[in-house]
Amino acid sequence: MWANPLSIEGIKVITLGELKHSWEEIPKDCLIITVCGLGIRGNEAACML
């Protein structure tokens, strides 16, 4: 298991699948940072955001 580089209080790291399923629950004023490799999943994340 890799260490979470974003293990700062108030930051939650989730998968793209979790983001898609909880999209309506995310506060509209939050900052979302995505880390995706180039490809279909990265394009999907970019389109969703």
- Residue-level pLDDT at 6: 55
Q: What is the number of domains present in the chain?
A: 1
Kindly state the tokens that stand for 44: 């999907």
- Residue-level pLDDT at 12: 76
Name the DSSP class of 28: T
1-42 pLDDT tens trace: 455 555 567 777 777 788 888 888 888 887 777 776 667 777
- Residue-level pLDDT at 40: 75
Q: Domain range spanning residue 31?
A: 1-49
CA 13 and chain centroid, separation? 6
Look up the pTM and report it.
0.45
